Structure 1
């Protein structure tokens, strides 16, 4: 069974569209879906990190508004004028955009969907309902396109690792050789519409019988690696090992050339290649360069922000201090069995009164990145610089 963080049902007959998201705050011990009935609930799900991952954030925001509009269509409560529907769509999209500021995918989706409604309103015979339907169709298309884009990213990234790393070349010639990959945070089906970006590369390597071992970091302080990536790897039965963030250097020193690459996702890639991703990514890139390990960023073109010149211009989200000073989890028995009926415990892990700095992301300089894997191919540096114009020119 394929993991689905986003479950969406289009309108059918008199029934409006329906959206449910997997509450990732309860993973890995409870698999619970929550309904998203309107923009307020979509905003809250994103802000509270019930749904996270740059592509998934954009899609949930888009579909939350689709559900809100579709419900009004079904109840015949749309404004009477097409222009009023367009204005409402723009206002609601602007509101959804405030849920999380760092990921560029959300802003990109908002811009594209505004254009859809503007084009719809100038069509001959445009009506309130036709503008609404144009928006809904476009939002639904984003869900479908994200899955196909992720699979393309996985394929391109896997081939690049096979052809450009020592472990990849050895594994292709001799199946007894080891090929291992490390990833950070969560970039799989739980962070996208399905399959994943960086985790999609790992899935593609495994499907091609190339990957022998995946490593995932726990990703403090929110533990997306231990809670979510580990959950997906176990679900897909991919040989995998969890490590704490601080163990990476020792792991790279131990594995040598068997560790082909570190593959991470991105929340925003600047025009020069500087990449904002989950806190801890920058240090992994530094370690990779020191140990001669390839460092790849896997991201759809919607994550590449040509309007942002460099990483210095990326706004970094600051999270609540409690994410660092407290941890939440279920009670377990002496044998490690989760006592589901006992509920979760909130535990303090730091001295009361200590000041906390909790940036959600850091920015990895382009000079430490070997390639950016997109759905149109892998972009490498030419004369030490990234140029992304090529992947945007292709149809």
Structure 2
């Protein structure tokens, strides 16, 4: 037997040419040179991609373009951002974290920069000087700012505005202090004093079309010195807000997204999308790029949940909603009928349960996940 094994080894080694390692190195080097024009940051890892059979993509910047297109603002019907009410204008002017550099460059979140460009605003070196038309100048001072938090899904500022546009006059200056809040519609909803009718219907309608939707809210605030404002609790500042509209952005696909994902699928690679966006927006995108082709079932918190374990399975149009206990055995028949989308909140509840492995193997979209969960 040992002689037979030795003969087999000799035959195999004689078949493999001694030049093979050198030829492989040349092929890899040629591939790196061909790809150099794409500025790949980790091109040295190309040889290690052979065993890869699952490809995970973020949405923004990978499948969709980084430059968002502002469609408009929606109180009930979509309107141009230049035609919105004064309160909404002030809310947009206050709820931002943009900075103007000495050379005139604006630095900040791409969505906020897109809003600024579409409203024809100018930001001065102080980053808080705005001009609406040739004769209506206004300045704003951010008295306190809560940066966007992924955990809270919102940002908040306390700006003081000065200028004739603040109260709608054409002469003389006036001061006005507001609370301006911008964030996920489902989060802002719980902070409103009065929730408008059709609130859920409207924002979900836009997200089902693949748009990215932010809710705006504000409230009047009496003038205080900075010391008093800094002592206010965030919960008190963000309570009893007035709805100021939805900000609707379109996320155009990258030109080669569909062809690239199809090429990966044809080569037996499983493509998955992981995003921090709304699950309805995420599902629309994966259907557009053909990552999924069946109806999608979404696992997320139910409407008005009692706690974080109060989950449901629901279809995109919500014609089918099934309450579920994450600690109960997973219904595996769902995977035969639906493609699966799961949110970051639902992930926390399913982790370390017996059905977790089956769920991961059958999930195509992860939505509303935090940066830590993406890792």
TM-score (norm 1): 0.25
Kindly name which structure, 1 or 2, has the bigger radius of gyration based on alpha carbons.
Answer: 2
Larger fraction in strand: 2
Larger fraction in helix: 1
TM-score (norm 2): 0.26
